[in-house]
Amino acid sequence: MSTTTIGHLIGGHIVTPAGRSQPVYNPATGQADKQVLLAEVATVEEAIANAQAAYPAWRNTPPLKRARVMSKLKELLEQHADELCALITAEHGKVLGDALGELQRGIENVEYASYAPELLKGEHSKNVGPSIDSWSEFQALGVCAGISPFNFPVMVPLWMWPMAVACGNTFVLKPSERDPSSTLRVAQLALQAGLPPGVLNVVNGDKTAVDTLLHDPRVKAVSFVGSTPIAEYIYSEGCKHGKRVQALGGAKNHAVVMPDADIANAVNALMGAAYGSCGERCMAIPLVVAVGDATGDAVVAGLKAEIAKMKVGPGTDSSCDMGPLVTKPHFDKVKGYVDQGVAEGATLVVDGRSLKVPGHEDGYFLGACLFDHVKPGMRIYQEEIFGPVLGVVRVKTLQEAMDLIDAHEYGNGTCIFTRDGEAARYFTDHIQVGMVGVNVPLPVPVAYHSFGGWKRSLFGDLHAYGPDAVRFYTKRKTITQRWPSAGVREGTIFSFPSSR
């Protein structure tokens, strides 16, 4: 079997320097016919140097021209949708329809970046003093870096670099080494759309590449999305080296089901939110908090019936609802959590551990698993599993449900299913979570809002994409100017300037 080598995109060219590499697996087959290069320090430094060299001209390119590249990229992404989705599915495993959803959300971020001239207009005040005008403008930072996770290889990088470059920065992106091909292909399409060489560089790699980005003084800002331990490391290490950092971490999202909820609709919504993309979403719902035992019984019965109808298989088969997990180590980890939940005393209502997909015996397929009577002290309650494992916790009141959510270390997303407006309003007002849904299981903000969790789901002050990204990728400069009329002489003033 011939092996494809996945290199880096530096200065507008794919480069394949000799050095370390690792296999990229197709999770539906367990086969690896690709090797991804793992950049050494020198390769990352070359990418940073290219970004640095491209910066002055790109910074001075009118925002409208930068925005037009984004408009062209949007067109190209739409034209290449089938190719990109096939690449996502071949390395991540998610079903093609889900890959298309990811691509679409990514395209919306490119579209938002194409509004850069409007978003960068700044703020102006005339006559802040006698003949004095003042304005704030938003200037680019320089070279920015992005480090992205495996679970959205197209969308998450598109949360980062399009807005950064539309604001006049140049960029070095370090995608996940587990499924790098679609990310790299999008970067090539950006070149085709007219992005000058060096404005966007992609280095594949591991901790060596990440640490080089974190330590190099030419990198001014770092955006990270991934697990919480790494997010915390990136935030502290990046800040220590004087960079602006936003680091989005892991999640354990709870869905509250109230006794008055439309249970059939809630169950349908929970199925997609728990098992879509094999549970490998930071906005997935791995926990249901049922208020009242009757609600718990109805939800568990409904989920059990729906799971029986699910089809699990390769993501390329359009009749499948769920594909495989991303890698064998991740499969083993998720399966280990199911074993752990049983050992901890939760009731395993549906056991997907023995699932076999005919013709795909070496794929990393795990069937949907459902636990009832999950308790807050259990590891399957506390820890992020990131797989098709849904647990039901039973409580007596909404307040008890909210106390559980607030006590959890993560605060990425949550939702409530109810017909009671007062309960929904109380929940959205008080819950300590960054993104909240009411009868919406995956409340992922659209591109013109911003995305981010609370507590240990986000390190940093600004959320990803949308208006917060304009602020993250620019520095405010405020200019105050006076042009005294010829011949007008003013006395010296020693007091602090004021409008008194």
User: In the structure encoding, which two tokens stand for residue 47, read together?
Assistant: 């990418």
Type of residue at 299 = V
Buried b (16+ CB within 10 A) or exposed e, 349-379: bbebeeeebeebeebbbbbbbbbbbbeeebe
- To ligand NAD, the closest distance from the beta carbon of 150 in angstroms equals 4
- To ligand NAD, the closest distance from the beta carbon of 81 in angstroms equals 21
Q: Among the candidate windows 117-125, 242-250, 257-265, 345-353, which touches ligand NAD by CB under 6 A?
A: 242-250
Closest to ligand NAD by CB, 314 vs 453, is 453
**Cα-Cα end-to-end distance for the chain:** 80
Name residue 4's beta-bridge partners: 34
* Given 93, 142, 250, 279, the residue binding ligand NAD (CB under 6 A): 250
Closest to ligand NAD by CB, 107 vs 234, is 234
Closest to ligand NAD by CB, 168 vs 249, is 249
- To ligand NAD, the closest distance from the beta carbon of 230 in angstroms equals 4
Closest to ligand NAD by CB, 207 vs 379, is 207
With beta carbons less than 8 A apart as the criterion, state whether 412 and 444 touch: no
- To ligand NAD, the closest distance from the beta carbon of 309 in angstroms equals 27
Interface with ligand NAD includes 176 (CB under 6 A)?
Answer: yes
With beta carbons less than 8 A apart as the criterion, state whether 457 and 283 touch: no
Interface with ligand NAD includes 49 (CB under 6 A)?
Answer: no
* Given 61, 134, 227, 236, the residue binding ligand NAD (CB under 6 A): 227
* Given 6, 116, 147, 431, the residue binding ligand NAD (CB under 6 A): 147
- To ligand NAD, the closest distance from the beta carbon of 403 in angstroms equals 23
- Report the distance separating Cα 98 and Cα 211, nearest Å: 32
User: In the structure encoding, which two tokens stand for residue 378, read together?
Assistant: 């259990």
Question: If we measure between CA atoms, which residue out of 172, 132, 224, 227 comes closest to residue 46?
Answer: 172
Interface with ligand NAD includes 206 (CB under 6 A)?
Answer: yes
- To ligand NAD, the closest distance from the beta carbon of 147 in angstroms equals 5
Residues in contact with ligand NAD, counted by CB under 6 A, come to a total of: 27
* Given 46, 91, 177, 306, the residue binding ligand NAD (CB under 6 A): 177
* Given 25, 112, 138, 150, the residue binding ligand NAD (CB under 6 A): 150
Alpha carbon 387 to its chain's center: 17
Closest to ligand NAD by CB, 306 vs 384, is 384
- To ligand NAD, the closest distance from the beta carbon of 278 in angstroms equals 12
Q: Among the candidate windows 66-74, 171-179, 313-321, 490-498, which touches ligand NAD by CB under 6 A?
A: 171-179
With beta carbons less than 8 A apart as the criterion, state whether 201 and 213 touch: no
* Given 149, 238, 279, 286, the residue binding ligand NAD (CB under 6 A): 149
Interface with ligand NAD includes 207 (CB under 6 A)?
Answer: yes
DSSP character at residue 329: H
Which residues within the stretch 419-478 sit at the binding site for ligand NAD (CB under 6 A)? 453, 457
3-state secondary structure 36-86: EECCCHHHHHHHHHHHHHHHHHHHCCCHHHHHHHHHHHHHHHHHCHHHHHH
Dihedral angle computed from the Cα positions of residues 402, 408, 411 and 417, in that order, rounded to the nearest 10 degrees: -30
3-state helix, strand, coil in the chain (%, to 5): 40, 25, 40
Residue 451, SS3?
strand
Residue 493, SS3?
coil
Closest to ligand NAD by CB, 153 vs 315, is 153
* Given 115, 364, 386, 427, the residue binding ligand NAD (CB under 6 A): 386
Residue 469, SS3?
helix
Interface with ligand NAD includes 412 (CB under 6 A)?
Answer: yes
* Given 85, 107, 165, 225, the residue binding ligand NAD (CB under 6 A): 225
- To ligand NAD, the closest distance from the beta carbon of 25 in angstroms equals 14
- To ligand NAD, the closest distance from the beta carbon of 47 in angstroms equals 15
Which residue among 144, 278, 282, 320 is the active-site one? 282
* Given 92, 174, 243, 463, the residue binding ligand NAD (CB under 6 A): 174
* Burial class of 227 by CB neighbour count within 10 A (0 to 12, 13 to 18, 19+): middle
Closest to ligand NAD by CB, 198 vs 411, is 411
Q: What's the Cα-to-Cα distance from 267 to each of 101, 153, 260, 277, rounded to whole Å?
A: 21, 29, 13, 17
Residue 114, SS3?
coil
Closest to ligand NAD by CB, 138 vs 410, is 410
Active-site residue, 282 included: yes
Which residues within the stretch 280-299 sit at the binding site for ligand NAD (CB under 6 A)? 282
DSSP character at residue 276: G
Interface with ligand NAD includes 248 (CB under 6 A)?
Answer: yes
Interface with ligand NAD includes 151 (CB under 6 A)?
Answer: yes
Sheet containing 4-6: order of strands: 4-6, 31-37, 21-26
Type of residue at 373 = H
Q: List residues binding ligand NAD (CB under 6 A).
A: 147-152, 156, 174, 176-177, 206-207, 210, 225-227, 230, 248-251, 282, 384, 386, 412, 453, 457
Residues designated catalytic = 282
